[in-house]
């Protein structure tokens, strides 16, 4: 049923670094009303004193004091089977994969086990205000099947795919080019376009796929409409050195993916920390996206992403938690680390750009900005209520904020799951902090 929500309301209209002034890139109503229709879509929004008199008498309104409503967060890179291995000690990427990741992911050949973890993972996303995710499953078709099933039950917009991985990994997490393709096709036919679900062809990275498998992945992408491609790119120096040994005929890491037809407007590359000039230019030219994963990049000691350089080259960038190399499901905590990474680079990430990265930029990366990312009328009503008084410190600090810039910045630095008072998916409440049992 139609419903109105009253609180502060903030949403982005554009990339604040692309407009003449940052103020042109967002709308903020200190006392706003968001009206949702009975299809779970945004009807309209505006200041309460303008909207209230136009609502029919008895129209249901929920009011949230000391709160800001924003679009739900969009996490453009993470791994659902790694939920249980966040905070694995001491290794950088390649050793971390061997020591922790592959053994953990090997458990996901069991559909039952995968479904149990998928439920925990999706509930954790919702608890953190993330309503859309692009996720890796494991190599097992069962894992993608489980995640699709659980996301479908929650009516969430979710993109995943079974990982393609046919070398340089233990047998328990390997497939073959043929099996990888057949299983992907079955999943695509069953799930791609069902409800709010989409399929992503998912070669883990070029180290763990043979040239034959990468070629098959490229063919698969051309076979069906609207598929995504997700993989990892240029995260770690040892990884990059190994890539040049494995593909000596390719001029750089991105050229490997490009050669197999994996670079395009629906491709999302996680990390992209150590790219050369030509790689950056090609990403921009081919309209491919990078998912910036600051908590992961710091945790694995991978390096400092150069956001400013990507922006200057007009590469699409959004935000990823990269759980379980990432250390938090919270996009607010992810923005906290993102801010520090830009500081280390001599830049500063404004809270307007931060919220853009976590919402509208994610929708643009996934080419879902006609449906998600802000509150333009007709968009799907995935939104969250951010509690500004979630802890004594938060309340005290917020009372000393003078404007929306400062309020949002404090949320980006101090914020976490405790700020997520309520999460709505297509107009339906799917998480309420005060009623949660955990």
Contact 199/188 with Cβ under 8 angstroms? yes
**Closer Cβ to Fe ion, 35 or 268, answer by number:** 268
Reply yes or no: is the peptide bond before residue 103 cis, omega within 30 of 0.
no
Q: Is 55 helix (H, G, I), strand (E, B) or coil?
A: coil
Residue with tokens 């489980």: 146
Least distance in Å: CB of 165 to Fe ion? 13
From 3, 124, 115, 9, select the one nearest 55 (Cα to Cα): 3
* Strand 420-425 versus strand 383-387 pairing type: antiparallel
Least distance in Å: CB of 205 to ligand GUN? 4
Q: How many residues would you count in the chain?
A: 438
Q: Is 60 helix (H, G, I), strand (E, B) or coil?
A: coil
201-260 binders of ligand GUN (CB under 6 A): 204-205, 232, 235
162 binds ligand GUN (CB under 6 A): no
Alpha-carbon distances, residue 390 vs 67, 74, 229, 402, 434 (angstroms): 10, 22, 38, 18, 11
79 binds ligand GUN (CB under 6 A): yes
Residue with tokens 């309520």: 422
**Closer Cβ to Fe ion, 7 or 270, answer by number:** 270
- Token output for 407: 């309020």
**Contact region for ligand GUN (CB under 6 A) — 93-101, 113-121, 366-374, 422-430?**
93-101
**Closer Cβ to ligand GUN, 296 or 423, answer by number:** 296
- Token output for 335: 């923005």
322 binds Fe ion (CB under 5 A): yes
**Closer Cβ to Fe ion, 197 or 270, answer by number:** 270
325 binds ligand GUN (CB under 6 A): yes
Partnered with residue 12 across adjacent β-strands are 26
Least distance in Å: CB of 355 to Fe ion? 23
Q: Select from 33, 201, 270, 338 the one that contacts Fe ion (CB under 5 A).
A: 270
Residues that bind ligand GUN (rule: CB under 6 A) add up to a total of: 11
Residue 368 binds what, of Fe ion, ligand GUN, none (CB under 5 to 8 Å, by partner type)? Answer: none
CA angle in degrees (0–180, nearest 5) for 277-282-288:
125
Least distance in Å: CB of 293 to Fe ion? 7
**Closer Cβ to ligand GUN, 33 or 325, answer by number:** 325
CA dist 399 and 413 (Å) reads 16
Contact 75/361 with Cβ under 8 angstroms? no
277-306 binders of ligand GUN (CB under 6 A): 296
**Closer Cβ to ligand GUN, 101 or 336, answer by number:** 101
CA dist 262 and 171 (Å) reads 25
Q: Select from 76, 101, 143, 407 the one that contacts ligand GUN (CB under 6 A).
A: 101
**Closer Cβ to ligand GUN, 34 or 254, answer by number:** 254
416 binds Fe ion (CB under 5 A): no
List the helix and strand counts (H, then E) for the chain.
17, 16
Contact positions toward Fe ion, by CB under 5 A?
A: 270, 322
Contact positions toward ligand GUN, by CB under 6 A?
A: 79, 93, 97, 101, 204-205, 232, 235, 296, 322, 325
């Amino acid at each position: 049923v139609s419903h109105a929500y009253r609180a502060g309301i903030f949403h982005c209209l554009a990339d604040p670094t692309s407009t003449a002034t940052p103020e042109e890139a967002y709308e903020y109503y200190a006392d706003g009303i968001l009206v949702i229709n009975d299809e779970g879509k945004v009807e309209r929004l505006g200041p309460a004193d303008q909207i209230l008199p136009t609502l029919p008498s008895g129209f249901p309104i929920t009011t949230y004091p000391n709160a800001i409503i924003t679009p739900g967060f969009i996490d453009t890179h993470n791994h659902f089977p790694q939920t249980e291995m966040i905070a694995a000690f001491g290794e950088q990427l390649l050793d971390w994969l061997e020591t922790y990741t592959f053994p953990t992911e090997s458990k996901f050949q069991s559909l039952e086990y995968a479904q149990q973890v998928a439920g925990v993972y999706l509930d954790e996303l919702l608890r953190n205000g993330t309503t859309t995710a692009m996720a890796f499953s494991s190599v097992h078709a069962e894992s993608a099947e489980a995640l699709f099933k659980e996301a479908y039950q929650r009516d969430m917009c979710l993109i995943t795919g079974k990982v393609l991985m046919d070398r340089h990994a233990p047998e328990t997490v390997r497939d073959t080019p043929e099996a990888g393709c057949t299983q992907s096709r079955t999943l695509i036919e069953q799930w791609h376009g069902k409800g709010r679900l989409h399929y992503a062809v998912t070669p883990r990275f070029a180290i763990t796929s043979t040239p034959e498998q990468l070629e098959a992945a490229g063919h698969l992408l051309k076979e069906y409409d609207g598929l995504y491609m997700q993989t990892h790119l240029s995260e770690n120096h040892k990884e990059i050195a190994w890539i040049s040994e494995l593909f000596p005929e390719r001029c750089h890491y991105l050229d490997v993916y490009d050669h197999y037809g994996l670079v395009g407007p629906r491709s999302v590359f996680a990390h992209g920390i150590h790219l050369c000039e030509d790689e950056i230019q090609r990403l921009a030219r081919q309209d491919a996206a990078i998912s910036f994963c600051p908590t992961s990049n710091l945790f694995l000691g991978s390096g400092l992403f150069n956001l400013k350089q990507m922006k200057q080259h007009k590469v699409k960038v959004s935000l990823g938690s990269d759980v379980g190399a990432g250390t938090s499901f919270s996009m607010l905590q992810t923005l906290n680390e993102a801010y520090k990474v830009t500081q280390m680079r001599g830049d500063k990430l404004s809270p307007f750009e931060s919220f853009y990265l976590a919402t509208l930029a994610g929708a643009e990366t996934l080419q879902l900005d006609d449906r998600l990312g802000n509150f333009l009328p007709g968009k799907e009503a995935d939104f969250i209520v951010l509690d500004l008084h979630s802890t004594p410190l938060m309340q005290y600090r917020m009372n000393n904020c003078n404007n929306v810039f400062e309020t949002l910045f404090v949320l980006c630095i101090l914020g976490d799951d405790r700020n997520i008072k309520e999460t709505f998916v297509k107009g339906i409440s799917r998480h309420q902090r005060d009623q949660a049992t955990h």
